Amino acid sequence: MPVYEFECPEGHITEDLVPMGTTHIKCAKCNKKAKKIISQCTFELKGGGWYADGYSSKGSKSSKKSD
């Protein structure tokens, strides 16, 4: 399971090991709802990555319209 950072309305940052898809936890310090902080270090999908290349082969069906 990945480690995520959560921030509550009081500004407390909590690092926790949670299942993927978890959007919030309870702050350990104030017991308020802490929201997951989206990481800034997203890897690049554009610009000749393997992911973009594999995806384009499947995307061709979108040009067809079954009207």
Q: How far apart are CA 49 and CA 67, in angstroms?
A: 34
Question: Nearer Cβ to Zn ion, position 4 or 27?
Answer: 27
Per CB under 5 A, residues contacting Zn ion are: 8, 10, 12, 27, 29-30
Nearer to Zn ion, 29 or 55 (CB): 29
Nearer to Zn ion, 33 or 52 (CB): 33
Neighbours of 41 (CB within 10 A): 4
Q: Least distance from C-beta 36 to Zn ion, angstroms?
A: 14
Cβ 34 vs Cβ 57: under 8 Å: no
